[in-house]
Structure formats: C-alpha cells, structure tokens
Amino acid sequence: MSNQSIKTPCVGLCSTVYGDLVCRGCKRFHHEVIHWNGYDDEAKRAVWLRLEQLLVQVMEAKLEIFDKDKLRQQLEQRKIRFVPQQSEYCWAYQLIARGARVINQLEAYGMVLLPEFRDWELPALRDAIDREFFLLSEAHYERYIAPGFLQDAFPAG
C-alpha cells in the first residue's frame, strides 16, 4: 500500500464545479471542497467524521464484516488506499468501490452480504451504495446546512 496518507476525501470526480451543492464523488458540501485547504485539523476531522458516519450507516445495512484483520490484509495486499482510523465498513466500501468487477467471493475478504443483497452483482451494489451515500449527504446538507446559509443571507431583525 502507498505510504502516503490520505489528506482529503476527494476522489477526483468533483461535481461541485457543475453547481452541485454536494459533490457526487466525495460527498462533501460545496463550501467544504472550496475551503478544504484553509480548514484547521478540527474542521477537517468534523467533515471526515460526518462522511464516515453516513457511509457506515449505508454499509452496515448491506453487509457484515466478520474478519476485520482479513479485510485489512486484503486491502494492503491489493494496494487499495484506505484510512486506517476509520471504521472497517469504510474499508469495505473502498474494496468494493475498487474491486467490484473482479471480486468473486466476499468471504475471502472477511465480509458477507446480508441476505437481501446476496443476489446482487457487486457493481450494481457498489452503485447503489454510492447513490444512497450521496442521498444521505444531500439530505444532511438540506436539513442542517442550507437553513444556516439562509439565516446568514437574510439576518433577522
């Protein structure tokens, strides 16, 4: 595995340049993409934590990880970058995102699909996970961030 640490959630598929309020690639909010390099460590951690929590919510509804060590070993062996401090469910996402077309048996990677998803092809599941992750990020933005922007734009008084 590359010994470079992952410094940004960016995955190189930014859609905020096209006007999206939530990036379809990394799921950060448009202002987070723009201001990332100016954020201090605490602000960056808050973004990483939100993304992790939303992704874990999606992943836990699709699969079970029964061997975290095996999953980590497979990621390292296949040189798939991941954030070691994050949940193993984020690691599983990285594996599926990079290897959906070549993985035949998830059990060899220390995980198994939940019964309602066992008939799914991994590329279709990967796309469904990504879409659900995006929708959750978008809903979070609409619920918690957009109202604050409106208050800043139109102060009471």
Flag whether 96 is in a domain. yes
Q: How many structural domains is the chain composed of?
A: 1
> Residue 71: what are its φ and ψ, rounded to 5°?
-60, -50
Flag whether 105 is in a domain. yes
Question: Per residue in 89-124, pLDDT tens?
Answer: 999 999 999 999 999 999 999 999 999 999 999 999
Tokens standing for 7? Answer: 């410094």
Distance of CA 18 to the CA centre of its chain: 20
Alpha carbons 122 and 111: distance in angstroms, whole number? 13
Question: Per residue in 13-26, pLDDT tens?
Answer: 888 877 889 999 99
The domain of 87 spans 16-146
Flag whether 57 is in a domain. yes
* Single-letter residue type at 116: E
Residue 145: burial class (beta carbons within 10 Å; 0-12, 13-18, 19+): middle
Global pTM reads: 0.89
Flag whether 142 is in a domain. yes
